[in-house]
Chain A
Amino acid sequence: MSDTPMIDELEKGPWPSFVREIRRAGEQSATARDLINILELSYKDKKTHWKHGGVVGVRGYGAGVIGRYVDMPEQFPGVAHFHTVRVNQTSGFVYSTKGLGEIMDIWDKRGSGMTNLHGSTGDMVLLGTNSDELDPIFTDISQKGWDLGGSGSDLRTPSCCIGPARCEYATIDTLAITRELTNYYQDELHRPAFPYKFKIKVAGCPNDCVASVARADLSIIGTWKDDIKIDQAEVDNYVAGGGIDIMKEVVMLCPTQCIDFDGKKMEIDNSNCVRCMHCINKMTKALSVGDEKGATILLGAKAPIVEGAMLASVIVPFMELEEPFDNLKELIEAFWEVWDEDGKNKERIGEFMERMGKGEFVEEVGRILEENDSEVKLVSDVDMVFHPRENPYIFYDEYLEEVSDE
């Protein structure tokens, strides 16, 4: 009988299996073999045997290394130390084979050889090494032009979709924004000084392929201000081609019902369009994003770690973004200023905003921007809501009538 019957179950079936991959690594690595064994024990005991966090790191940095030890080092010496190293990924995850090969050579020599590309923040996550190898790894990757990413209560490595490098929908240069923010905020990335983590994700259009609206404290999502462009000749081609039922698949699925289509001519009431991208995604040749391009800035999304999951809510509906993105930096720093001042330990900015009240938070950020003579103006607005109302027993019409009677 196998020594790891529970873990073996995870190798069954046609889908990819992390257990299969770790076993493959185990053909050459004692660390990988002990990793399987400790995992089996955790499943058996129904508790983790890992200790997370600690003192380890590289000299001068407070981020990029996550300390990890097992609580039974004598039984599992291969994973007695099993520290994670986060390497700052490239913008849009565009790598050269040579670059990846260099990272893997270093990791095979100084670590377990196991990786997780990419972690939920986006970094290249190198799994499993011991304390003595940390500074040499840092030296080796630095010499090849790489750097460590964020971890702990700091700015996490900003990440983005591939944007204008490959996607025609991109209304902002996601790659340039990510690269600039990463380089500009090196101190915030490597030296934790925030109440808790702060993630930035940049999506080129409202399709939001990086899911920033659900995963990032600060979501920068490309959008446009003017009208959706309609190529009527291409609409005619879609009608003639018959490959799509425009009425059923496009018009009826518009969330605000702002498309008018008589079987031949298409018109859009752009004042009611919410930039959901559905029609553009369905009729790529006939419809395209407008010419006045920029981004919507949202704040507050997070996964359910300390408190429940939150989606981001809009703070700035439209902002033009041109290099060197000074307006964006001023806004981000104002957010940090308010959060840093009164945020509690392990309180994400979305939770902080909820505790403080969104209106008051926005007003405070606006005041700081004004104090700093920023060109960015931020004022609270009744349209700034966290989510639609939940209580159906509040009748606003009645309230408004009473007010008008007075």
Chain B
Amino acid sequence: MAVDLNQVAEDMFKMVEEVHGVKKYKPGDVFKAMVKKYKDEGLTKKDCKAAMRILIDSERLVYTYFNGSWVELPGVEGAAKAAEEAAKK
């Protein structure tokens, strides 16, 4: 495979970042998009998993569960904020 996994990771990140707050992607959606984009370079799903791991381990993206598993930008959900505020009181 000729393509750099860091580059794939960067593209994955941009894909998720662009729709942040509007739409969520499942990891599989991101993989399919990358395999299509780098078709000529022979990018595989296994490569995509490795690229995703770069993003997750560096905490640029996180896995979330909202009626299914997704990858998103890190954030604090409303319920967690409410729990924190209650703890402060």
Interface set of A (CB-CB < 8 Å, partner B): 51, 53-57, 59-63, 66-67, 69, 71, 73-74, 77, 80-81, 131, 151-154, 187, 191-196, 340, 345-346
Least CB distance from B55 to A in Å reads 11
Contact with A along B17-49 (1 / 0, CB 8 A): 000000000111001000000000000010001
User: Could you tell me if B59 and A59 are in contact, using CB atoms closer than 8 angstroms?
Assistant: yes
Indicate the member of A73, A152, A193 with the most B CB atoms within 10 Å: A193
User: Could you tell me if A54 and B64 are in contact, using CB atoms closer than 8 angstroms?
Assistant: yes
Chain B minimum-CB-distance residue to A345: B68
Residues of B in contact with A, size category: 20 to 34
User: Could you tell me if A340 and B86 are in contact, using CB atoms closer than 8 angstroms?
Assistant: no
Chain A minimum-CB-distance residue to B72: A55
> What are the residues of chain A within 8 A of B79 when measuring CB–CB?
51, 54, 67, 69, 71
Contact for B83 among A60, A61, A69, A191, CB less than 8 A: A69
> What are the residues of chain B within 8 A of A69 when measuring CB–CB?
79-80, 82-83
> What are the residues of chain B within 8 A of A57 when measuring CB–CB?
62-63
Contact for A55 among B31, B62, B86, CB less than 8 A: B62
User: Could you tell me if B52 and A191 are in contact, using CB atoms closer than 8 angstroms?
Assistant: yes
User: Could you tell me if A187 and B80 are in contact, using CB atoms closer than 8 angstroms?
Assistant: no
Docked pose: A272 CA to B65 CA in angstroms: 48
Docked pose: A57 CA to B63 CA in angstroms: 8
Which 6 residue pairs spanning A and B have beta carbons closest together? A62-B63, A192-B69, A73-B86, A153-B69, A152-B69, A69-B79
Contact for A74 among B57, B66, B68, B86, CB less than 8 A: B86
Docked pose: A202 CA to B79 CA in angstroms: 38
